[in-house]
């Protein structure tokens, strides 16, 4: 299927593209790689996007048969496709990975460190657990570690500081998921997201490193 650069594909075209990209052989098939670039990369680049989230990437590292017979493992196929994507991106977009293998690590700026979180104390504890054992990934493998976005403005109004403490400790990207389609969400965004003191969190250079980790054996 050909997708004209700059044209918005139909729902049926998008579905066909996604299905073709997740089959075992497609990950090293040159025509599939070209389709991926024509739609996913050029589509967003041509519309001025500069941040791309690449999700469910472990699916691209599954074992199976491959078009390129020199590719014998899932990680090889994953790496080959990822390298091609990075070349086509050509530094245009910030690439953030989710549900991705830790290795290979050289293709993205950021990787999500934990599963979905919201604003509860248990979510905070679970995310910080990942920081305790994965702090070494930052500035060594990935420029940033990332966790799931939060409704930042709503949390501020409710006087909850947990999302900001997490970001300060992670030295991570600053994502907001407040409902900007609603007048209330737009008002909160104007108040919170233009606040210089809040935005300072996004540029902090310090990274939390624990001084001691206690390992407990589970019985």
Flag whether pLDDT at 146 surpasses 60. yes
Task: Write out pLDDT tens, residues 74-122.
Answer: 999 899 888 888 988 999 999 999 999 999 999 999 998 887 666 666 7
pTM for this model (two decimals): 0.73
Mean of all residue pLDDT scores within the chain? 75
DSSP annotation string for the chain: ----TTSPPPHHHHHHHHHHHSSTGGGG-HHHHHHHIIIIIHHHHTTT--EEEE--GGGGG-----SSTT--SHHHHHHHHHHHHHHHHTT-SEEEESS--SSS-TT-SEEE-SS---SSHHHHHHHHHHHHHHGGGBTTTBSEEE---B-HHHHHHTT--HHHHHHHHHT----B---TTSHHHHHHHHHHTT-HHHHGGGG-------S--------
């Amino acid at each position: 299927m050909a997708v004209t650069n700059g044209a918005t594909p139909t729902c049926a075209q998008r579905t066909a593209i996604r299905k073709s990209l997740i089959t075992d052989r497609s990950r090293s098939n040159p025509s599939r790689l070209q389709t991926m670039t024509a739609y996913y990369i050029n589509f967003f680049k041509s519309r001025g996007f500069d941040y791309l989230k690449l999700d469910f990437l472990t699916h691209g590292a599954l074992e199976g048969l491959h078009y390129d017979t020199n590719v014998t493992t899932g990680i090889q196929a994953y790496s080959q496709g990822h390298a091609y994507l990075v070349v086509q991106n050509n530094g245009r977009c910030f690439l953030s990975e989710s549900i991705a293998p830790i290795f290979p690590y050289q293709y993205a700026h950021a990787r999500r460190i934990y599963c979905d979180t919201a604003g509860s104390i248990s979510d905070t504890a679970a995310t910080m657990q990942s920081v305790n054992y994965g702090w070494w990934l930052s500035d060594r493998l990935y420029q940033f570690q990332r966790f799931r976005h939060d409704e930042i403005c709503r949390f501020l109004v409710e006087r909850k500081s947990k999302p900001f403490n997490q970001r300060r400790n992670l030295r991570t990207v600053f994502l907001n998921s407040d409902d900007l389609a609603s007048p209330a969400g737009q008002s909160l965004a104007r108040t919170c997201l233009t606040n210089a003191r809040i935005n300072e969190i996004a540029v902090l250079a310090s990274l939390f490193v624990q001084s001691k980790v206690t390992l407990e054996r589970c019985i």
